[in-house]
Amino acid sequence: MSDDVSAISPTSPSSETHDIDVAPESSQAPLRVQPRPLPKRFESDIDVPDIDLHMHSTASDGGMAPADLVALVARRGVSRMSLTDHDSMEGIFEAQQAAAALGVTLMPGCELSVRWRNQTIHIVALMPDGAGDALSAGLVQQHEARERRSHEIAARMEKIGLDNAMERAREQATLNGSGDRPLSRPDFARALVEAGLARNLQDAFKRHLGSGQKGDVKAHWPEMEEAVGWVRADGGVAVMAHPMRYKLTRTKRGELLRDFIAAGGEAAELVSGFQNIDRARDLARQLDELGMYASVGSDFHFPGGPLAPGSMSPPPRTKVPPVWCHPRLATFFDAPIATI
Ligand code: AMP
Ligand code: MN
Ligand code: MN
Ligand code: MN
């Protein structure tokens, strides 16, 4: 899968991770971020809105601990965020504690790996009331699926010469912030680089772990319909993550989005990190035709790369309503309600 090619910086998490501290020790009052009002429409003159609804921490494959990430978010003047770790909400509690102290509004969330027509697709779940019974059970299932998948990936990587693949990937996970979470493909990618079997992360994905390669094991993920059901059952809004990053024609993307809507999906990421403005305009037209809400997110993983919390291309002007104006999310974000 090459969906997240731009999501990760080739650099390892820098020591910055540990130095981030919003309030200098000498300062008495903690620096609290000042929220700006959220717009009801994407105007051409709004730059990056004061919100970032897609980011990762060490609870999945990100490089920063949840509290450090929130501190960086606040320091960058972003006052509303969602933490959307892959198939996990383990970082939410820590992030919420930090967010409360810094005046950041934090929407509980996660990024679910699902199957659609035998492709891996990512769904961002925005959960104003947190995970209820349905998503909690779903996340247990995802955790198990990830465990099983990691053994299968390890077996396949051993075949191409990565001895003790499981242990090596675990070691990489530990070096990158957390040794006790389920493994993800970047852990195997780093192990391949470390063992001299790939030049860098990109190369490891291109040759061994990306779409269509040996290590792209996707059989364990639930069908898209099932996972969207968990989100809806618990009062959340399901957002199609980075719709332009899948290798799909416009027509196929339309089919994906229609199936997503039929399953209960309501929004898609109009902006994901840095992207081409013409393609974003085209996506906006498609979302408008389908009557969807639009979300924005950096898909930030690591400091030291091209992306940071709140850094993303400006959205194109469109009448598609922002997802923070969705009736189930607007109160949480203190935003105006817009119905489609
Ligand atoms: P997993 O959730 O275990 O399938 O791992 C997917 C993650 O791998 C994505 O969320 C990205 O963070 C990362 N990733 C995917 N493709 C690439 C790539 N080509 N180069 C670097 N990282 C990637
Ligand atoms: Mn990732
Ligand atoms: Mn993704
Ligand atoms: Mn992501």
Task: Give 266-317 pLDDT, tens digit per residue.
Answer: 999 999 999 999 999 999 999 999 999 999 999 999 999 889 999 999 999 9
Ligand 4 center from residue 25 Cα (angstroms): 33
What is the structure's pLDDT at 44? 62
- Chain centroid to Cα 40, Å, comes to 23
State if residue 60 touches ligand 1 by the CB under 6 angstroms criterion: no
Whether residue 260 is predicted with pLDDT greater than 60 in this model: the reply is: yes
3-state SS string over the chain?
CCCCHHHCCCCCCCCHHHHCCCCCCCCCCCCCCCCCCCCCCECCCCCCCCEECCECCCCCCCCCCHHHHHHHHHHCCCCEEEECCECCCCCHHHHHHHHHHHCCEEEEEEEEEEEECCEEEEEEEECCCCCCHHHHHHHHHHHHHHHHHHHHHHHHHHHCCCCCHHHHHHHHHHHCCCCCCCCCHHHHHHHHHHCCCCCCHHHHHHHHHCCCCCCCCCCCCCEHHHHHHHHHHCCCEEEECCHHHCCCCHHHHHHHHHHHHHHCCCEEEEEECCCCHHHHHHHHHHHHHHCCEEEEECCECCCCCCCCCCCCCCCCCECCCEHHHCCCCHHHHCCCCCCC
State if residue 210 touches ligand 1 by the CB under 6 angstroms criterion: yes
State if residue 185 touches ligand 1 by the CB under 6 angstroms criterion: yes
Ligand 1 center from residue 76 Cα (angstroms): 25
Considering every ligand atom shown, identify the ligand nearest to the alpha carbon of residue 298 and give its number.
4
Ligand 4 center from residue 113 Cα (angstroms): 10
Ligand 3 center from residue 242 Cα (angstroms): 7
Contact 111/123 with Cβ under 8 angstroms? yes
Q: Which two tokens stand for residue 297?
A: 């997110």
State if residue 2 touches ligand 1 by the CB under 6 angstroms criterion: yes
Ligand 4 center from residue 27 Cα (angstroms): 35
State if residue 88 touches ligand 1 by the CB under 6 angstroms criterion: no
Most informative mutation of 61, 152, 220, 245 for ligand 1 (most atoms within 8 A of CB): 61
Residue range 59-91, pLDDT digits in tens = 999 999 999 999 999 999 999 999 999 999 999
- List the residue whose alpha carbon is closest to atom 19 of ligand 1: 5
State if residue 240 touches ligand 1 by the CB under 6 angstroms criterion: no
Considering every ligand atom shown, identify the ligand nearest to the alpha carbon of residue 7 and give its number.
1
- List the residue whose alpha carbon is closest to atom 14 of ligand 1: 4
10 Å Cβ neighbour count for 191? 26
The residues that bridge with 240 in the sheet, in sequence order, are 123, 268
Burial class (CB in 10 A: 0-12, 13-18, 19+), 37: exposed
Most informative mutation of 113, 115, 184, 298 for ligand 1 (most atoms within 8 A of CB): 184
- List the residue whose alpha carbon is closest to atom 17 of ligand 1: 5
What is the structure's pLDDT at 46? 59
Q: How far apart are CA 23 and CA 75, in angstroms?
A: 9
pLDDT band at 26 (very low <50, low <70, confident <90, very high): very low
Residue range 202-259, pLDDT digits in tens = 999 999 999 889 999 977 899 999 999 999 999 999 999 999 999 999 999 999 999 9
10 Å Cβ neighbour count for 115? 18
Residue range 174-193, pLDDT digits in tens = 998 777 888 999 999 999 99
What is the structure's pLDDT at 48? 58
What is the structure's pLDDT at 29? 57
Ligand 4 center from residue 86 Cα (angstroms): 7
